[in-house]
Amino acid sequence: MAGSWIFYTTFPKIPFINPEFKNIAQFAPPLGFFIGTIQSYIFIFLTANSWSIYASTLICLASGYLITGGLHLDGLMDTFDGIFAGKKKRLKAMKDSKVGSFGVQSLVFITLIQIACILKIQNQIIIVLPICLFWGRFSNLFFIEKFKYMSFKKKSISHKKFWNGFKKESLISIIFLLIFIAYQLVSITTQAILIKFLFLILIGTFLSYSIPNMLGNKIGGFNGDACGASVVLVETAMLFMHSILL
């Protein structure tokens, strides 16, 4: 857990715990839920203290970029640059430090969608954003399980090198998800809300599998950039679905 804490966020090192970076992907989904909770409370705090809904939305998103260091957004831009560079130049384009026009467009497009979604859900953000960030990171478990690692420099990656299979690697996240579902089922008061909630769980599972599957087939495997893109695309798609259904 300590390794995941350091690798996926800009948080300081946990005292008295030596981080290990083997199998850290299994801790990313609950960590994403935690990050989403922080962002949600920032939004709620600002709106409760006379900040406009628009300013609160922007700071909410900016706080997420600060917490993650823009790790996943960087992967999103690099991945889209690679996809549109063509098969032969794909990996080279993804590893190029310069951001191309398609990368910039993907960032602007995703950011505008996220802003619109948060403006729609507003104070429901506390029950929406954390689980969306959970699903985004959960998608990487499918990604790593199904595809081989690929790199322009042909180096290995600890995510795949120490991978123990989807069942073991997803156990923590599945237990966490079951606890979340149980809590929500107790809290839900109407049949209509229950149906929407269960439908969103099914959509989350579907998108967490289908989006990395499409990315993996497109680029011929996975790497850190593609994993980052999967996180952003899944969490944004889930934000959009919540905005429609809630």
Specify the number of domains making up the chain.
1
In a domain, 19, yes or no: no
pLDDT tens for 43-62 read 999 999 999 999 999 999 99
Find the domain containing 169 and state its range. 2-14+26-245
Low-confidence ranges of the chain (pLDDT < 70): 1-3, 19-21, 152-161
In a domain, 161, yes or no: yes
pLDDT at residue number 21: 63
In a domain, 200, yes or no: yes
In a domain, 88, yes or no: yes
Asked if 232 and 113 touch (Cβ cutoff 8 Å), the reply is no
Cα gap 98→146, rounded to integer Å: 29
In a domain, 37, yes or no: yes
Cα gap 25→8, rounded to integer Å: 9
pLDDT at residue number 156: 47
In a domain, 141, yes or no: yes
In a domain, 185, yes or no: yes
In a domain, 21, yes or no: no
pLDDT at residue number 211: 96
Strand-pair partners of 222: 149
